[in-house]
Chains A and B, each alone.
Chain A
Amino acid sequence: MSWIKTKWTAEEAEQWTKEDYIIFIISPLVYILLAVGLALSLLLLWYGFVILCVGMVLLVIMLKIIDPKLKAVSEDYEVKQREYLEDLEKIARWEE
């Protein structure tokens, strides 16, 4: 998956990129496949197991795509969080 970016700088990770848009498609698909696949698997129907396996494979792919980006976003943001919390209190207390 060389066209999928796995190393992010903080600045790059803050943008909405193709990796996010791919996740917006894969993630609901995983929910649908898990829901249908599990129900049919419990009835021991072979295609239920196939659907469930496809759902789990997509889940792994989803995590491989999005996790590096989420890590980068989180690490960068936590540094700024204290300052933002102070601003939040100012709004709550009508100081801004």
Chain B
Amino acid sequence: MVVFGFLDWFWLFLFIVLMIICGVLFYRLGKRSMSDFFLAGRGLPWWLPAASVYATHSATDTPIWISGVIYQHGLRGIWYTFFSAWCAISAFASTRIFRRSLAYTQAEWQTIRFSGLGAELLRGWIAGWQVFMNMFVLGWVGIAMGKVCHYLFNWPEWLGLILFSSLCAVYVLAAGYWGVVMADFQQGVIAFAVIIIVSIWGIATAGGPHTIIAKINSLGQSWRLNPFAFTGVASGDFPLVWFLTMLVIAVIGGFGMGTSIDWYPEAQRIQSAKTIRDASYSIWAGSALIVIRNSLWAVAILAFFTIYPHISSTAEYEMAWYRLGFEFLPVGLVGFFFAAIVAIHLSTVSTHLNLGASYATRDLYNHYFRPEAGEKELVWVGRISTLIILLGSFIYGMMMQEITQWLIFALWIMAAGIWLPSILQVVWWRFNSWGYLSSWIANLGLSWLVVWVLPEFHVIPVLPDYLQFWTMMVLGALIYIPLTFLTPPEDMNRLVKYYVMSRPLGWWKPVREEAIRKGLEGFSVVQSKGGI
């Protein structure tokens, strides 16, 4: 338990009041239309969504997870956190294409890229899945906050979960995405400042960089200082093939949409940027901040390792960064530190509340139940959806102990088998809605087989995670590629319209030729140069 002084409480209350007021101030803008409530009117300069990308992906569980991999693996552990690098290419490829589509959500994009029943099935599936996923993520990060409050103040876990998520809901309900993004900016600045302060403080407490290096060397663990300390090509706990697989997944994944679970909140930020250029820079810069943040954390955790080098309990060393703050910061700054943790938490909660509500409102209510609904009605449905998702997250949060393992598995299978189809839907004109839909379904079955059922019956050995990825990718392709060719291509008129609007990269020659044949504007250059 940590004891707060007057100054600690002062910082905490000041920050909470500022965060909530900052969000509520934008009430009038948020209620103007659905576009305002979910996309801030599509008019933000790049640095606002960039701060939101950074703030959203700094959650209460993030330092716990990063502390774990760095304490265990040393500096090479930064590669476990490198999946956010999908934005390196996405910012200049899929972000550009998606921003041009103007889709509110990834679910809506399916009905712009594809047509007919397959497109509608995809839209309904992705919308429903995203409503569930956002509730789940809120429950997950909410209960992590409950655990932090239990550790600090001995509160029951449900109190930390409900209290802070409810405070956050005040400004999300009032101002929608305007409140989210404005509060995210403020929270992102506070969180980044505190991450720098605590990390540098931790390094200094350990005796400074030279002492840290000397201690690690004296422990005979100099490999911890090498980010490229592979344990072999395919052997050990950090093989080269794992690293290469991670790079392929992260970097090449940037050509697709939905190759990372983080694509969905980023899609909202992309559409809220005022121009294509702003959208690109927001995604690139937001993720660059995440990469920089991870390196700061990594060195701070190395410092912690030199102070406590023999912790074997995962649960204990995963709290490394929090312990640096709460054990070593002076009284007065501890409250500042906790206020930053609250900021980190609220920025993640606000995003997922608003994002889940956008799928419920735009894709389910507006598209399937009330296509004729007016703007005022849709804003109210957005608010009611926000409230339902908040209440659902409390239930998920309280159930989390029992279901976490199952849901982490569900997250993994969602990401692994649809990685390649999520790229193909962007870069290959012939890939159709039935191909994409079948890849989702095939992935559900294959992942159970490859990860659990076949190893359990000794048909195949238990595969390392990078081999599971490649196996599921190949097996999945054996299903969705034939199915794509056995079903007709998408309606050519829809494809041409999509092509002219979005200008996708990759293999689009028949569509491009049809667009030229129809005499659409802007194709003289294409015609003369004979390329995309």
Main secondary structure of the interface of A (DSSP, over half): helix
Is A57 located at the chain interface by the 8 A CB criterion? no
Closest residue of B by beta carbon distance from A77: B276
Contact indicator A24/B92 (Cβ below 8 Å): yes
B298 at the interface (CB under 8 A from A): yes
B522: contacting residue among A14, A67, A81, A94, CB under 8 A: A14
Complex partner residue of B292 from A32, A34, A73, CB under 8 angstroms: A34
Q: Is the CB of B92 within 8 A of A15?
A: no
Q: Judging by beta carbons under 8 Å apart, are B275 and A92 in contact?
A: no
Q: Which listed residue (B89, B302, B372) contacts A93, Cβ 8 A? A: B372
In the complex, the answer to whether A77 meets B100 with C-beta atoms within 8 Å is yes
Q: Is A16 among interface residues, defined by CB-CB distance under 8 A?
A: yes
Q: Are A28 and B89 in contact (CB under 8 A)?
A: yes
Please state if B112 and A91 are interface contacts (CB–CB under 8 Å): yes
B371 at interface by CB-CB < 8 Å: yes
Q: List residues of A (10-46) whose CB comes within 8 Å of B's CBs.
A: 10-12, 14-16, 20, 23-24, 27-28, 30-32, 34-36, 38-40, 42-45
Q: How far is the CA of A70 from the CA of B93 in the complex (A)?
A: 11
* Cβ-defined partner of B525 (8 Å) among A15, A28, A30, A39: A15
> A35 contacts B78, CB within 8 Å?
yes
With both chains docked as a complex, state the minimum distance between the C-beta of A71 and any C-beta of chain B, in angstroms: 6
Least CB separation from B84: chain A residue: A31
- Determine if B111 is an interface residue (Cβ-Cβ < 8 Å): yes
Question: Contacts A14-B503, A38-B296, A70-B276; is A31 near B88 (CB within 8 Å)?
Answer: yes
Beta-carbon contacts under 8 Å, A60-91 to B: 66-67, 70-71, 73-75, 77-78, 80-81, 84-85, 87-88, 91
Q: With A43-B209, A84-B501 given, is the CB distance from A30 to B88 under 8 Å?
A: yes
CB pair B93–A74 under 8 Å, yes or no, is no
Closest to B96 in A: A73
Q: Which residues of A contact B32 (CB under 8 A)?
A: none
Are the C-beta atoms of A28 and B291 separated by less than 8 Å? no
- Contact in complex: B89, A27 (CB < 8 Å): yes
Decide: B525 and A31 in contact? CB cutoff 8 A: no
- Output the nearest chain A residue to B275 by Cβ-Cβ distance: A74
Closest to A67 in B: B277
Check B531 against A92 for contact (C-beta < 8 Å).
no
Most buried by B among A11, A42, A81: A42
Q: A43–B522 Cα gap in the complex (Å)?
A: 53
Complex Cα distance, B277 from A70, in Å, reads 5
| CB of B449 closer than 8 Å to a CB of A | no
Q: Which residue of A lies closest to B368 (CB)?
A: A94
> Residue A27 contacts which of B100, B284, B503 (CB distance < 8 angstroms)?
B284
Contacts A15-B525, A27-B92, A77-B275 known; list 14 others, CB within 8 Å. A14-B503, A16-B503, A20-B505, A24-B89, A28-B85, A31-B82, A39-B295, A40-B227, A42-B203, A42-B296, A43-B212, A44-B210, A78-B275, A80-B501
A contact residues vs B (CB 8 Å cutoff)? 10-12, 14-16, 20, 23-24, 27-28, 30-32, 34-36, 38-40, 42-45, 66-67, 70-71, 73-75, 77-78, 80-81, 84-85, 87-88, 91-94
Q: List 7 A-B contacts (CB under 8 A).
A: A14-B503, A27-B89, A28-B247, A39-B298, A39-B299, A73-B277, A85-B102
Q: Which 8 A-B pairs have the closest CB atoms?
A: A74-B275, A28-B88, A70-B277, A38-B295, A93-B371, A39-B295, A42-B299, A27-B88
